[in-house]
Amino acid sequence: MVSMAPEDVAGTPEFDQEKYNAAVLLETASLDIRADQPPTRFLVDVGFNNSHSGTLACRLKPGGYGFELSVGYTNDITDNMTTTKIFHALNDHPDLLTVYYEPGHAYVEGRILFKQTQIAHFPRWRFEDFAGYDVTKEKPPFDKPQEIHEEPRLRRCPRLKERLLQAPVGSPASWVDGKRCDDRSEFVEMLDARSARDQFRVVIVQPQVGEGAYLEISDADRAVDRNTLQLYRLETLLNSARGSVVAIGGDLDVVGRRG
């Protein structure tokens, strides 16, 4: 399952704020599909920050112009508020979704199509050694989903400064000259010294993505499976985010784990 990027929604002739908000939410949500019976039905484990908040049941049923996506609740719900938010985004805006099936067909905007799944690989991965770091520990919880496409818009120093000073975590920190600092004051001071002509680069750290697994799953000769589709979703998000960064003169790098 892949959701439409928010900037693609914003670029449509008739901008719909509610649909845009749903696209932002779905982009930051975890959507893990599991097969069910009959084949037209599938389950979606949902949440934020890789947590499990609940499971939704989805079913394709014939409609007036093809197929309609029907979304419902199951008894497996641990976080009712989060599950409800994701439910409404999926149920109210099914056209934001493309659902891929392993045999090669896909549900796209109310139609069932045979679609050859191809991954547009993200070109700016690099893999580093994370020895000595606990890469299994989750990052601190946030009050609201993080928005990957918000970061390029924060390039303007006043907006970025404001966001840094209003951190969504209780004990914000920063790294200056390779050393961890217990606050962000020096980082903000350096930000104030930047000019509009200075180059910038966004770096996302993804230590849970190992180099060996990435090369194996991205192999062009590999049969399409669940892992392939998950990588497709990740690389689609990264390519879309990089496009936003490049459009304003920067670039985006992603650091995975070596080995």
Cβ-contact 208, 258 below 8 angstroms: no
Q: What is the reported pLDDT for 253?
A: 94
**Domain carrying residue 81:** 2-114
Domain count, the chain: 2
In a domain, 119, yes or no: no
Instruction: Give the pLDDT band of residue 11 (cuts 50, 70, 90).
Output: low
> Which of 64, 88, 114 is where one domain is finished?
114
Q: Is the pTM of this model over 0.75?
A: no
Per cent of the chain over pLDDT 90 is 19
Tally of CB atoms within 10 A around 65: 9
In a domain, 152, yes or no: yes
Residues 148 and 228 grouped into a single domain:
yes
Give the angle 42-44-45 at the CA atoms, nearest 5°: 145
pLDDT (tens digit per residue) in 196-223: 778 888 888 888 889 999 999 888 788 7
Cβ-contact 131, 259 below 8 angstroms: no
Residues 132 and 239 grouped into a single domain:
yes
More confident residue, 202 or 133: 202
Mean pLDDT of the chain: 78
Residues 91 and 202 grouped into a single domain:
no
